[in-house]
Homo-oligomer: A and B are copies of this chain.
């Protein structure tokens, strides 16, 4: 269901690739039919959603209204455009900018919606700082006009320097983004060294102080609102668990409790995919003294317990051990396996990787070096085979064994591509460029593995990998902003700038097909391919604008081929994307990093772990690295083999709390803020929860303590 919805959302968004101005043009009839299909799917999804929720809840929810309005708008626009097209009147497909609304407003995109809501709540405060920043900009511009306006200075391009007020404001705004530093200063600086002071003061005040202040305001508010949302969720969860308890409770002595059988039924219902042994473990934690019932306090904990990923490790002996135990247990095989398990094995392959790096950097032309590639491939494949031989294959390719999967995939892809390339070369005497490029990339990617051998690097990498899901939210945010700006950009600048290959004879090929760009920095920088002529180009241009550098050259170039106010488009994009979204991205990385570095295990996790240990089903160390884990499993197995039947073998499996590395965004967020929420009592009512606002609810002493 979820996948289908996302598929149609992205199909709908990607229509822009095929609609005029298209990368791959399709007839209008095809794209419009696909769009209608998408809208129908959305409508179907919405009606299904309406059926399963209460009527007043459904109609109160802004996001449902939003979707309905968006569907209506899209259909209207499509109809109008279609009719006008029949009469050959060209019009604008303005409804295309509402398409990202579907991405934001479907129930599946909770993260993105939350991020947008946080942005909306942050806006008032940003606005005040922004106004103050604009005031500072205007003041500095006024000063610049008075200081340099009548000097008749010239820029490096021979244009008049700081002559007109609006021009100065734009130039200084660009300087805030540092994109035209030091060019904008040079004419004044050449005239007198003292004028450098003006620009230094400007940069310190506006670039360093105000831009940091933006980050601070965004960070502070974003965190505050996110915390509030998470608190709402936590209260809600607590409240719902209490209601569930009240429904299921029975009297037992002086207190109300839930009996074991009922509890098991409930767990089976809400979490059908956990194993029965896992369920047994949870029961043992909830019903600590094995009284046959669960009291309120333990019952309420259930949601948290279910949220914690417990990895069930089945201790199996190696399949080869079962099929041909004699061979697998022979001296040669034992030696081989102990060799693979030895530290030296990892080091040997690290050295091989380094040698491989040198070979990659060397010239391909020599035949010896291209043969070497086969040797390296063979070595890597041997490594994987040896590891699979030594460790249990199902453990080696476990869900959480990121590096094993990464290695294997990269190496087999490289093998396939290299074979394909060699076949093509020998049959057609011709290298396929695409395949060769992929081979190159895969070869280099193989080298990344070396990072995992160094403990300190592994820690940083794990933090990074952990942050990835969070970054996907920002990918969503960015996608929405890019889509809207790309569609507007295509309407404004489509076809104004053309790209011609280097040897083209087209008129004004060097001026991007537009004489207005003669002698402009845009044409001189050979930026012609950066245009809004189709959806993909627009995305790349917007990416370059996000990186900020040279954005004024783009703004000036596109203003020259259209009208001066076109610069506003670029300024708006800068404000939205760089000042708001990128700052939120940075805030989030900061926050996630701090959490990753400082977060200890939660109370519930500790309780589970203790229970696991008590029951004698734990892995000895609880913070094992993955490779060590494999080793450890092996030695466990050996122990079992040797001793013939310990307590552990009776169960044949061990539990382990999944490492921090594989948490989801939501879990991470919840952990970030949950510690602050007191959950002793019944908590506020549903109504109160929904109306929580960030300011009063945060206890002031906590905030100050945490800011300190």
Q: How far is the CA of A205 from the CA of B674 in the complex (A)?
A: 30
- Which A218-277 residues have a C-beta within 8 angstroms of B? 219-220
Is A536 on the interface with B (CB-CB < 8 A)?
Answer: yes
Q: How far is the CA of A585 from the CA of B209 in the complex (A)?
A: 9
- Which A527-585 residues have a C-beta within 8 angstroms of B? 527, 529-530, 536-537, 540, 543-544, 547-550, 582, 585
Residues of B within 8 A of A360 (CB): 142, 146
Q: Are B704 and A547 in contact (CB under 8 A)?
A: no
Is A448 on the interface with B (CB-CB < 8 A)?
Answer: yes
Q: How far is the CA of A180 from the CA of B444 in the complex (A)?
A: 24
- Which A692-708 residues have a C-beta within 8 angstroms of B? 700-708
Q: Shortest distance in angstroms between A399's beta carbon and chain B's nearest beta carbon?
A: 25
Is A499 on the interface with B (CB-CB < 8 A)?
Answer: yes
Q: Are A590 and B700 in contact (CB under 8 A)?
A: no
Is A179 on the interface with B (CB-CB < 8 A)?
Answer: yes
Q: Are A132 and B180 in contact (CB under 8 A)?
A: no
- Which A133-153 residues have a C-beta within 8 angstroms of B? 135, 139, 142-143, 145-147, 150
Residues of B within 8 A of A291 (CB): none
Q: Which of B128, B150, B220, B598 has a CB less than 8 Å from the CB of A460?
A: B128
**Chain A facing B: main interface SS:** helix
Q: Are A143 and B193 in contact (CB under 8 A)?
A: no
Q: How far is the CA of A360 from the CA of B139 in the complex (A)?
A: 11
Q: Are A676 and B705 in contact (CB under 8 A)?
A: yes
Q: Shortest distance in angstroms between A363's beta carbon and chain B's nearest beta carbon?
A: 9
Q: Shortest distance in angstroms between A475's beta carbon and chain B's nearest beta carbon?
A: 9
Q: How far is the CA of A634 from the CA of B680 in the complex (A)?
A: 51
**Residue in chain B with minimal CB distance to A217:** B593
- Which A149-180 residues have a C-beta within 8 angstroms of B? 150, 156, 165, 178-180
**Residue in chain B with minimal CB distance to A441:** B143
Q: Are B212 and A147 in contact (CB under 8 A)?
A: no
Is A357 on the interface with B (CB-CB < 8 A)?
Answer: yes
Q: How far is the CA of A53 from the CA of B451 in the complex (A)?
A: 51
- Which A644-695 residues have a C-beta within 8 angstroms of B? 671-676
Q: How far is the CA of A361 from the CA of B142 in the complex (A)?
A: 7
Q: Are B549 and A132 in contact (CB under 8 A)?
A: no
Q: Shortest distance in angstroms between A584's beta carbon and chain B's nearest beta carbon?
A: 11
Q: Are A550 and B181 in contact (CB under 8 A)?
A: yes
- Which A465-480 residues have a C-beta within 8 angstroms of B? 467, 471
Q: Are A707 and B595 in contact (CB under 8 A)?
A: yes
Is A586 on the interface with B (CB-CB < 8 A)?
Answer: yes
Q: Shortest distance in angstroms between A693's beta carbon and chain B's nearest beta carbon?
A: 16
**Residue in chain B with minimal CB distance to A127:** B456
If A525-B186, A600-B700, A708-B706 touch, whether A220 touches B547 (CB-CB below 8 Å) is: no
Q: Are A440 and B220 in contact (CB under 8 A)?
A: no
Q: How far is the CA of A536 from the CA of B143 in the complex (A)?
A: 23
**Residue in chain B with minimal CB distance to A178:** B549
Q: Are A589 and B675 in contact (CB under 8 A)?
A: no
Is A502 on the interface with B (CB-CB < 8 A)?
Answer: yes
Q: How far is the CA of A501 from the CA of B203 in the complex (A)?
A: 26
Q: How far is the CA of A674 from the CA of B582 in the complex (A)?
A: 33
Is A69 on the interface with B (CB-CB < 8 A)?
Answer: no
Q: Are A704 and B600 in contact (CB under 8 A)?
A: yes
Q: Which of B190, B529, B537, B600 has a CB less than 8 Å from the CB of A502?
A: B190
Q: How far is the CA of A529 from the CA of B196 in the complex (A)?
A: 11
The residue among A150, A156, A361 with the most chain B CB atoms within 10 A of its own CB is: A361
Q: Which of B220, B524, B529, B703 has a CB less than 8 Å from the CB of A190?
A: B529
Q: Are B132 and A598 in contact (CB under 8 A)?
A: no
Q: Are B675 and A705 in contact (CB under 8 A)?
A: yes
Is A599 on the interface with B (CB-CB < 8 A)?
Answer: yes
Q: Shortest distance in angstroms between A579's beta carbon and chain B's nearest beta carbon?
A: 15
If A550-B181, A590-B216, A675-B704 touch, whether A444 touches B146 (CB-CB below 8 Å) is: yes
Residues of B within 8 A of A425 (CB): none
Q: Are B190 and A461 in contact (CB under 8 A)?
A: no
Is A57 on the interface with B (CB-CB < 8 A)?
Answer: no
- Which A333-361 residues have a C-beta within 8 angstroms of B? 357, 360-361
Q: Which of B183, B540, B676 has a CB less than 8 Å from the CB of A189?
A: B540
Is A410 on the interface with B (CB-CB < 8 A)?
Answer: no
Q: Which of B219, B437, B547, B600 has a CB less than 8 Å from the CB of A701?
A: B600
Residues of B within 8 A of A444 (CB): 139, 142-143, 146
Known: A135-B451, A142-B360, A675-B704. 6 other contacts (CB 8 A): A182-B549, A203-B543, A207-B547, A213-B460, A216-B590, A598-B706
The 10 closest A-B pairs by CB, nearest first: A146-B440, A216-B593, A212-B589, A598-B707, A594-B707, A181-B549, A182-B544, A178-B549, A706-B706, A156-B526
